[in-house]
Amino acid sequence: MGKIKKINVVDLFAGIGGFSKGFERAGFKVVLGIDNWDVALKTFERNHSGSESLCEDLTKINDQYYKNIKTKTDILIAGPPCQGFSMSGTRQIGDARNDLFKEVVRAAKITDPEVVIIENVVGILSMKNTDGILVKDIIKETLEKLGYHVNYTILKASDYGVPQARRRVVFVGTKKDNYEFPNKNKAQVTVKDALGNLPDVNKDKYLSARTIFQKMMQGNVGAIYNHEAMSHNEKVLNRIKHVPQGGNWKDIPPKIYDVGGEHSNNYRRLDPNKPSITIKHAAKSMIIHPFFDRVITAREAARLQSFDDDFIIEGSKSEQQQQLANAVPPLLGYAIAKSVKKYLSKK
């Protein structure tokens, strides 16, 4: 397979296609993206013009569909919904979303790709099913029964050029037992490195790109898309003004912070000299710009996720933020894709 010019990739639970973008950057051909959120798939379609898309619940896709795409499925990548595993959620054992990885296994069983990759939150490693069996062991064992050698590890996005301390578990199943996870980058990209040439929301022209990352991200579209601020009432704005760089809700006087929510990243103002915290829905968790008294825009969240500025996100401002929160950072996907390419090139 190493001599094939274009190796085909199918992306399940594709969302807006951050994982796909990483594989495209490494020279793979993303032939199909499947997701059941129509807005996210519109974003996928807009930014993956050479790929087919299917808006469908994977549990409702029949086996014949996968038989029909078997010949063009060399690599299967997937990021099943993670809310049931997330440490910041309720982590209910009976949550139906906890079983969605089985849809990836079903697709792999029928399409028989050379490589299967599943990305998820770190919380999946400690989650058990209703029978008390660790989900990570089920994933490993079911893929092994299909003939794959399975490795998994925790990857930190900031180790691979993403300006964000996002940690994710990556399971990689390969037909040969010689896959190696990507090597870490020595240098890390900070929030200031990432956002420094993005002006405030009342400006429509980029500032001069000064860092390698800014030059890489700044696109050719000219205008700045997805860079509208969320509206804040006077009470919220007052809370924001009390938070210093790197601070959070604890810096807000109790009489002003009367909304509850005591997660360490609530009302977190980003530290410009470090990689960002994990990007969630910026307006719901109140991720504050390091210099401006407002929540970061979708464009700024996209930068911190390593989506370049040509990647335009569909939907309302809130939907844009949620799409980005759900996404795999393209540069993390790229690092994984390069390691897969290296694996495929081995004899």
pLDDT tens across 200-219, in order?
Answer: 998 888 999 999 999 999 87
Proportion of the chain above pLDDT 90, given as a percent: 82
Per the CB < 8 A criterion, the answer to whether 44 and 53 are in contact is: yes
**pLDDT range class, residue 82, cuts 50, 70, 90:** low
pLDDT in tens, 185-195: 888 999 999 99
- At 163, which amino acid appears? P
For residue 173, pLDDT beyond 80: yes
Average pLDDT score, the chain: 92
For residue 92, pLDDT beyond 60: no
**pLDDT range class, residue 2, cuts 50, 70, 90:** very low
Question: Is 55 among the catalytic positions?
Answer: no
Which pLDDT score, from 0 to 100, does residue 76 have? 98
For residue 183, pLDDT beyond 90: yes
Output 146 or 132, whichever has higher pLDDT: 146
pLDDT in tens, 227-266: 999 889 999 999 999 999 999 999 999 999 988 778 888 9
Distance CA 336, CA 183 (A): 10
pTM of the prediction? 0.93
For residue 319, pLDDT beyond 90: yes
For residue 11, pLDDT beyond 90: yes
| Marked catalytic residue, from 10, 32, 39, 82 | 82
Distance CA 18, CA 127 (A): 25
Proportion of the chain above pLDDT 70, given as a percent: 93
Distances (CA, A) of 21 to 14, 120, 143, 178, 228: 11, 17, 25, 25, 24
Which pLDDT score, from 0 to 100, does residue 133 have? 87
Give mean pLDDT, residues 290-305: 98
Give mean pLDDT, residues 11-38: 97
Q: What is the 3-state secondary structure (H, E, C) of 16-69?
A: CCHHHHHHHHCCCEEEEEEECCHHHHHHHHHHCCCCEEEECCHHHCCHHHHHHC
Give mean pLDDT, residues 10-21: 98
How many Cβ atoms from other residues are within 10 Å of residue 70's Cβ?
Answer: 13
Chain centroid to Cα 134, Å, comes to 24
Give mean pLDDT, residues 270-295: 96
Stretch among 124-138, 160-174, 288-302 having the lowest mean pLDDT: 124-138
Stretch among 3-7, 30-34, 238-242, 324-328 having the lowest mean pLDDT: 3-7
For residue 78, pLDDT beyond 50: yes
Domain 8-183+329-345, second-level architecture? 3-Layer(aba) Sandwich (3.40)
For residue 294, pLDDT beyond 80: yes
For residue 346, pLDDT beyond 90: no
Which pLDDT score, from 0 to 100, does residue 207 have? 92
- Residues facing residue 64 across a β-bridge: none
Residue entry with tokens 């400006």: 203
Give mean pLDDT, residues 98-120: 94
Distance CA 46, CA 225 (A): 14
How many Cβ atoms from other residues are within 10 Å of residue 19's Cβ?
Answer: 30
**pLDDT range class, residue 128, cuts 50, 70, 90:** confident
* Residue 11 CB contacts under 8 Å (≥ 6 apart), including other chains: 17, 19, 20, 30, 32, 33, 34, 77, 78
Give mean pLDDT, residues 178-188: 93
